Amino acid sequence: MSDARSVHTHLHDYERHLAQLDRLRAILEEELAGARGPRAARIEAALDRMDRGLYGACGRCGAFIPYERLLRTFDRPTCDACAAGPDAEHDRRPVAPRAGTAPAPGGASRGHPGRPGAEAA
């Protein structure tokens, strides 16, 4: 019984994670529509990280960036400690980004397959 509950718990966590990513993708795409210059480039880079499965992990140390932080600064590529500077203390063990994650089939696409607005970059 505990194995079934564990699978159910993991499935629920995964579904919640996908919903959070959908919400963050929608925010990024909405912001990109009105962005210009360096801000547009930062948002494009965040969408690219999302397509490659690296979004939400610090680009410097690999630590996860909390969902609440991503909601406030959704195009941020680093955790709070790395953003503070090279001598800042990390309060959590770094987690390596997923290695070998391939872009979406058919190239680097935005959005989910079949979702309106899913166009090539």
pTM for the full predicted model: 0.64
Mean pLDDT along residues 45-74: 92
Distance CA 105, CA 97 (A): 20
Place of tokens 């547009």: 40
Mean pLDDT over the full length of the chain: 76
Residue partners of 113: CB distance under 8 A and separation at least 6:
104, 105
**pLDDT at residue 10 is higher than 90:** no
| pLDDT confidence band for 88 (50 / 70 / 90) | low
- Provide the pLDDT for residue 85: 79
- Average pLDDT estimate for 105-119: 37
